[in-house]
Amino acid sequence: MTSRNISLTARGRGAGGSRRLALVAGGSLVAALAGLSACTPPTLLTLRGGLDSLRAVVDTMAVRDSIAYAAIADMRREVAEQRDILLSTRATTGSTTKEVFDQMSLLEGKLDETLQHFQQVSQRAPIAPVAPAGPDPTQLYDQAAQDLTQGRYPMALQGFREFVQRFPTAELADNAQYGVGECFFAQASFDSAATEYALVDSLYPKGDKVPAALYKRALSLEKLGKTSTSRAIFQDLIRRFPLSGEAQLARDRLGSTPRH
């Protein structure tokens, strides 16, 4: 009979190392048993040593994944096959073979216990499906910004809103919220634009897009004919961010906008 070499990749240094050792010992055991019909005393000593090593590992190993389960089940079948060969050769190999056969029976019991334990654990804690990875925040923002500059406003709006929803605390969150307002402003939806610009100030008061959002909100309201409200926001912008570029633009607008 030809023994199969079983290799197993472990996930950690603990249980994974034990599984590799068990499988290597199991492979050596099967290879030794395959030549049992011509056993010599040194070979039997090697065989017993392999049995002792494998039994010690099986006593401590914890099978926790389906790959290890399949490998142990395969080893279990090979042990059963080698036991049948031992039975057929007991009459000619003497009492030493009987001792090895008894050890094989004990090992079979250990393997059965391990397989049963694995099945119980699998039934209690089924493996949860791996959730698909979400979009990269930088790529999501960059794509939305590109859609905006190229006039694909519905796609840009969807991208900016998805960014704000998925990454509300990200560094670019205030920029994304400002981008939502820009999508509406570019389509002359000034009422919606003013609402979205206001969210930049309320949700991200320390964000670097607040001055621009205040200015564009005031412009949106000006477009809607709400001049007094617009002027009040321009003045608030100048008071809060006097050195910003938007503050200078607001001064220009106040100088050119008639009072009502």
Least confident among 46-55, 157-166, 206-215 = 46-55
Query: Is residue 162 assigned to a domain?
Result: yes
The answer to whether residues 88 and 190 belong to one domain is: no
Structure confidence at residue 195 (pLDDT): 98
Long-range contacts of 149-158 (CB under 8 A, 24+ apart): 151/186, 153/183, 153/186, 153/187, 156/183, 157/183, 157/184
Q: Which of 11, 15, 3, 18 is nearest to 75 (CA)?
A: 3
The answer to whether residues 113 and 156 belong to one domain is: no
Residue where one domain finishes, among candidates 124, 152, 177 = 124
The answer to whether residues 65 and 160 belong to one domain is: no
Q: Which band of pLDDT confidence, cut at 50, 70 and 90, is reported for residue 33?
A: very low
Run of H or E residues at 86: helix 66-93
Structure confidence at residue 74 (pLDDT): 73
Query: Is residue 159 assigned to a domain?
Result: yes
Least confident among 5-14, 201-210, 238-247 = 5-14
The answer to whether residues 110 and 148 belong to one domain is: no
Q: Which band of pLDDT confidence, cut at 50, 70 and 90, is reported for residue 240?
A: very high
Of 79 and 27, more confident: 79
CATH number of the CATH domain containing 247? 1.25.40.10
Q: Which of 77, 146, 144 is nearest to 115 (CA)?
A: 77
Query: Is residue 4 assigned to a domain?
Result: no
Of 16 and 235, more confident: 235
The answer to whether residues 192 and 232 belong to one domain is: yes
Of 107 and 241, more confident: 241
Query: Is residue 7 assigned to a domain?
Result: no
Residue 16 predicted with pLDDT over 90:
no
Helix axis angle for 245-256 and 227-240, nearest 10°, is 150
The answer to whether residues 58 and 117 belong to one domain is: yes
189: containing domain: 137-256
The answer to whether residues 148 and 244 belong to one domain is: yes
The answer to whether residues 92 and 178 belong to one domain is: no
Counting every residue, how long is the chain? 260
Query: Is residue 195 assigned to a domain?
Result: yes
Residue 81 predicted with pLDDT over 90:
no
Domain count, the chain: 2
Residue where one domain finishes, among candidates 94, 124, 154 = 124
Structure confidence at residue 10 (pLDDT): 36
Residue where one domain finishes, among candidates 124, 151, 180 = 124
| Distance from C-alpha of 228 to C-alpha of 89, rounded to nearest angstrom | 106
Specify the DSSP class assigned to residue 129.
P
Structure confidence at residue 38 (pLDDT): 47
The answer to whether residues 92 and 166 belong to one domain is: no
- What is the pTM for the complete model shown? 0.51
Structure confidence at residue 84 (pLDDT): 63
Q: Which residues of 96-112 are buried (b: 16+ CB within 10 A; e: fewer)?
A: ebeebbebbeebeebbe
Query: Is residue 6 assigned to a domain?
Result: no
Please write down the HEC assignment for all residues of 191-238.
Answer: HHHHHHHHHHHHHCCCCCCHHHHHHHHHHHHHHCCCHHHHHHHHHHHH
**Other C-beta atoms lying within 10 Å of the C-beta of residue 43:** 13
The answer to whether residues 119 and 141 belong to one domain is: no
What is the tens place of the pLDDT at every residue in 141-197? 999 999 999 999 999 999 999 999 999 999 999 999 999 999 999 999 999 999 999
Query: Is residue 132 assigned to a domain?
Result: no
Query: Is residue 24 assigned to a domain?
Result: yes
Residue 5 predicted with pLDDT over 50:
no
| Distance from C-alpha of 193 to C-alpha of 154, rounded to nearest angstrom | 14
What's the mean pLDDT in 75-89? 65
The answer to whether residues 141 and 119 belong to one domain is: no
What mean pLDDT value characterizes the chain?
Answer: 76
Question: What is the radius of gyration, based on Cα positions, of the chain?
Answer: 37
The answer to whether residues 193 and 215 belong to one domain is: yes
